[in-house]
Chain A
Amino acid sequence: MPAQESIESPPEDTRWQLVDRTMQRLDHRPEALIETLHAAQDAFGYLDSATLARIASRLRLPPAKVLGVATFYNHFRLKPKGEHTLSVCTGTACHIKGNDRILAWMRERYCLAPGDTTQDNRLSLVEVRCVGACALAPVILTDGAITGKKSFAETTTIIREWLDDAP
């Protein structure tokens, strides 16, 4: 089994310590899976097959089950993210206030659809379903920093300045 192989050659990556600690805290019980995936994504930025295989073997879960869980929840990424991340909130208030135009503009200007990363790995575009700052709609997050209450033109300027893509 591939799950077994990864035990024989444990990656000597110190980042695993955090992940292992999470599994230990929950006694390696099956319910630790989601918490462990969170910890692994925090440690590695995303969840690749080797990571999932190792988690499956540590928690003694079928690999298919681990993959099923990792792909069910939006929060988990199976692909690496770019150097920078632009998150566009697509909650209801942000939709009403026109964030779909920002997504269309990103597609046009940077050829990015939600979930995509540029070829040079510089920028990822993420669609988030409501960060809960609806009174600031429309909301975007540049590397996690929130910006809101801006017009379409102001928002695109902010994005271009942030990306050193001078208007």
Chain B
Amino acid sequence: MHREELAALAAEHQRHLDTFAHHIFVCAGLGCPGNEAIVAALRSEIAERQLQDRVLLRKAGCMGLCALGPIVLIQPGEIAYHTVSPDDAAEIVASLDREPVARLRLAPDLPFFARQHKNVLALSGRIDPEEIRDYIAAGGYAALCTALATMRPVDIVRCIQESGLRGRGGAGYPTGLKWATVAKAPGDKKYVICNGDEGDPGAFMDRSILESTPHAVLEGMIIAAYAVGASQGYIYVRAEYPLAIKRLRLAIREAERRNLLGHAICGLGFDFTLQLRLGAGAFVCGEETALIESIEGRRGIPRPRPPYPAEKGLWSSPTLINNVETYANIPRIVERGPAWFSALGTERSKGTKVFALTGKIRHAGLVEVPMGMNLREIIFDIGGGIPDGHAFKAVQTGGPSGGCIPAEFLDTPVSYESLNELGSIMGSGGMIVIDETSSMIDVVRYFMEFCMEESCGKCVPCRVGTAQVHRLLTRFLEHRATAADLAMLEDLCDLMKHASLCGLGQSAPNPVLSTLRYFRQEYLDRIVPAEPATEEQA
């Protein structure tokens, strides 16, 4: 599809959409169970009133406020309804030309929506993710067609470098630099991989993006492939995300049908094919080299680095790996220019970041804010604070590789650097709020159990270290620990951090280390006077 054809299709579909006086969007994400019944009830209500020509009902992606779902959005008017049930359908349809249904309506100025800055999530909940024309009418694939027609690969790499975008999967490596390395790496065959193996067990940014705007991820990948000179790509998605997989399959097929993927994309001399690969439940596959092993059909065991995937990755060819949110950022950066992006955020952390705000928080859901917003604003203003009269105790960021941040640092602006300084990490964007009813040791032992079960078992410090640390934490939890256990805990964490082979083992001690730093008293309170140590002979 040429640029002109794309523009024509966008205009035609927009004209079609404009013939409807009202648009109803029902959140049809995994986080809004029961949405099928609501869609069915609304559909029959519309049919009964013979409003099919005036009202367009669409299943949309996530609107973010999952705690109050299912959410239904009416346009024009930006009227959002919460906790909708099929029984509300009649009232909602009846109200379309009149006053909104007050008892269901979310306050238009609710800070949850008003304080966010949506960029990656801008179209989420506002288009039908299973309809490529919706995405195109909203300006989708224009960045790709423009880039292919008017920019050289080096121009795109420079654009991403100047934007200051950093990887949204965890470590925050500069995306443009990664692209430049792969682009420069010698080799005829190169690959582009999208890491959708969202492993943090408390985060769902990538699931939501893939379910809500799958085409944005594809578009970002195709642009990346053109920029680095890759002709083949893979999207690796968790098998636990059936809806995301279904919508991605459909999106790939639709994009191929419209010549946005495949041979001579946009009628120009660039070929790129994309395949879906299902993960099978292994956190370690979020690690780049383990992910490559898995795509090659093997156990997801990390390889020693160097060589890095940028030089020697999939089938020993130069390979670019970015995460879902990183790719979803690309089309807008290319379309609006690097300066637009770098104007958002902090000195070294640019743009916006999507967070999955969960745990003991009133407005649990998915939020997108500019980098640099402080934790208090995210948790108390947007998130609505802690429910049931409880007090904030800590926020856990970065999942099993991250740390727990106590109340005294709530005013910290969120950036890669600030979270590292606090002994945590940005991670992929999981933010779990913990109140005073939870024991930090229980939370930490939970993460260590997770790492123990998810360790691939290859290297000794991670394989045996996680098991030993888990055992020690259990002793603390059961008030059976000794002062010697505390010293051993610290030694083992130091060993794992420095001697493990991959990021999983190296960062597994982070939850322990951060709680030893901020909640040490909880450990000390559980130490019993030492009994004579038992020694075992080799």
Contacts and interface: CB of A to CB of B under 8 A. Distances in A.
A adjacent to B, CB under 8 Å: yes
B365 interface: yes
Contacts of B277: 34-35
A147 B34 CA distance: 10
Interface residues of B, number: 52
Given A96-B438, A129-B281, A73 B300 contact: yes
Given A34-B280, A74-B280, A133 B204 contact: yes
A35 B275 CA distance: 12
A145 B297 CA distance: 30
A75 B297 contact: no
Contacts of A149: 67
10 contacts: A29-B297, A31-B296, A72-B282, A91-B202, A92-B399, A96-B438, A131-B30, A134-B358, A136-B69, A148-B33
Interface in B25-54: 30-31, 33
Interface residues of A, number: 39
B148 interface: no
Given A33-B298, A92-B358, A136-B67, 10 more contacts: A72-B282, A75-B281, A76-B281, A90-B201, A95-B446, A129-B281, A130-B202, A135-B69, A136-B33, A137-B358
B514 interface: no
A11 interface: no
A129 B365 CA distance: 18
A38 B30 CA distance: 21
Interface string A127-161: 01111111111000000011111000000000000
Contact of A38 (B280, B365, B438): B280
Nearest to B396: A92
B384 interface: no
A113 interface: no
Interface of B: 30-31, 33, 66-67, 69, 198, 200-204, 207-208, 238-241, 277-283, 294-300, 356-360, 364-366, 396, 399, 430, 432, 434, 438, 443, 446-447, 450, 454, 456
A130 B201 contact: yes
Given A96-B432, A147-B33, A135 B201 contact: no
Q: Which 8 A-B pairs have the closest CB atoms?
A: A92-B202, A74-B281, A135-B66, A73-B280, A132-B204, A130-B201, A135-B364, A31-B297
Contacts of B446: 92, 95
- Point out which of B279, B299, B396 has the most chain A C-beta atoms below 10 A from its C-beta: B299
A80 interface: no
A92 B278 CA distance: 23
Nearest to B301: A72
Contacts of B432: 92-93, 96, 134
B240 A135 contact: no
